[in-house]
């Protein structure tokens, strides 16, 4: 049986990747828990503070610090900048304003002319507040 040469494959050494530290000190700075919980994922930054030091009488493992970061809230895609009785206006990512009609409710005594005038007045009121800012 032939023995494999460990150095023949530099990217994979006998089951271990070359960037694997077998012994290290890890300090954690967490926002959500006092101690890391088993199986829980944490979002953050891992920083290597010091390398492995081997001296004649002393051996210090590499030291790392993990800092948990604040989870970022996804920003709303098209936020509403005006919400009226008949229309809503959203601002797109390019800065343009998009008016949207709300569902039309036909009630007894519904008049197209009065509805159109109320929508027009609400649109003027909304744009006057948004454009002149």
Domain boundaries, the chain: 6-68, 80-131
Structure tokens that stand for 103 in this block: 């569902």
DSSP class of residue 83?
E
Position 95 scores a pLDDT of 81
Name the residue with higher pLDDT: 97 or 53.
Answer: 97
Give the model's confidence band at 128: pLDDT under 50 very low, under 70 low, under 90 confident, else very high.
Answer: confident
CA atoms within 13 A on the CB side of 50: 13
Give 94: exposed, middle or buried? Use CB within 10 Å, 0-12, 13-18, 19+.
exposed
Residue 11: is its pLDDT beyond 70? no
Report if pTM > 0.75: no
Phi-psi region of 101 (alpha: psi -120 to 50; beta: other; left: phi over 0): beta
């Amino acid at each position: 049986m032939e023995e494999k040469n460990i150095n023949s494959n530099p990217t994979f050494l006998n089951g271990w990747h070359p960037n694997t530290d077998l012994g290290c000190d890890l300090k954690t700075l967490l926002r959500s828990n006092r101690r890391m919980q088993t199986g829980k994922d944490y979002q953050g930054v891992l920083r290597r503070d010091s390398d492995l030091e081997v001296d004649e009488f002393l051996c210090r493992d590499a030291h790392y610090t993990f800092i948990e970061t604040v989870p970022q809230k996804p920003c709303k895609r098209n936020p509403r900048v005006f919400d009226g009785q008949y229309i809503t206006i959203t601002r797109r990512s390019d800065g343009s304003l998009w008016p949207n009609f709300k569902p039309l409710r036909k009630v007894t005594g519904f008049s197209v002319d009065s509805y159109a005038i109320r929508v027009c007045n609400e649109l003027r009121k909304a744009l006057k507040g948004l454009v002149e800012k």
